[in-house]
Structure 1
Amino acid sequence: MSALRAPATFPERRGEPTPRRAPLTAVEGGAGRRLDAVRAPLQATSGLPFMVLCALVLVGALFSALLLNTSMARGSYEMSRLQREVGLVAQDVQEVQAELRAAESSLPQQATRLGMVPAEDMTMLSVVEGTIVAGSAEEP
């Protein structure tokens, strides 16, 4: 801490002469050093604005944490709902695929029941070229 040299002035008392005082000397730390009067430290300013600023920062951080936590919880509930929905859709797809496999395996029996017979000579039509393509019949 630095000290400014200031002249030692004492208020004058009325009626009494001002006695001349000898300068003080340091005895303990440095013998023979002269001690000078220094200016009193300035009065500390109020810490209220700093405390209010700290409180506002704390409240803002808590509010931000609350909003973040709320949005994360909402996202978690949405994700759980969507996972449940995906599970139900996957189950429906498996059921439809099982029905399709059952229908494919019973297709020849249903065709015979309806009076259909296998084709002896298959022919195909090429739509692009507009021609008839001959093919061979396959026995099931």
Structure 2
Amino acid sequence: MSAVNAATARAARPAELPRTRRAPLTAISGGAARRGSRLDIVRAPLYSKSRVPFFALCATLMILSLVAVLVLNTTLARGSYEMAHLQGEVAQTAQDVQGLQEDLRAAERDLPAKARDLGMVPAENPTMVSLRTGKVVTGTDEGTDE
């Protein structure tokens, strides 16, 4: 059974490449003298800056913009409700004014009849006192008082 396991293990492994001998490493002239006594075989990896601050900035900007849109939307909605309420008040006030104007017109129409019911008669030649001059003015002199 171990022969079967060994055969399946060999079949499962990828084909091995033949090992070749590498050329020996040699120092480049002037290279070691510039860097000191150490000979670099493999170049040191470049260190990249972390991307976390960039993603944090992007997330913060996104959150701030969403909050700003929410505040703007709420403010506009509140203004819309307030505007609708004020328009209702304006309409109610306009109706009240129209009603009062109609009452005034009706009172003006009924005034002569109410005066007659009280025994009043129209004056044929009204006389008034001018407050500016202190003179007594008759109805025929109305246009001459300045």
- TM norm. shorter chain > 0.5: yes
1:56 and 2:60 aligned: yes
Unaligned runs of 5+ in 2: 1-23, 29-42, 141-146
Max Rg structure: 2
Runs of 4+ deviating beyond 3 Å: 18-22
> Which of 1 and 2 has higher RCO (CA within 8 Å, sep 6+)?
1
* 1:32-71 C-alpha deviation (Å, 9 max, x unpaired): xxxxxxx666221110011001111111111011111101
Give the structure 2 partner of residue 131 of structure 1. Answer: 135
Give the structure 2 partner of residue 88 of structure 1. Answer: 92
Give the structure 2 partner of residue 109 of structure 1. Answer: 113
1:112 CA drift (Å)? 0.2
Q: Take 1:77 and 1:44, find their aligned partners in 2: how far apart are those partners? A: 54
Point out the structure with the larger helix share. Answer: 2
Change (3 A) 1:20 1:71: closer
User: What secondary structure sits across from 1:68 in the alignment?
Assistant: helix
1:128 CA drift (Å)? 1.5
Change (3 A) 1:131 1:40: farther
1:118 CA drift (Å)? 0.6
Give the TM-score normalised by structure 2: 0.65
- The one-letter code matched in structure 2 to 1:63 is V
- The one-letter code matched in structure 2 to 1:61 is S
Q: Take 1:20 and 1:105, find their aligned partners in 2: how far apart are those partners? A: 124
Q: Take 1:19 and 1:74, find their aligned partners in 2: how far apart are those partners? A: 77
Task: State the identity %.
Answer: 51
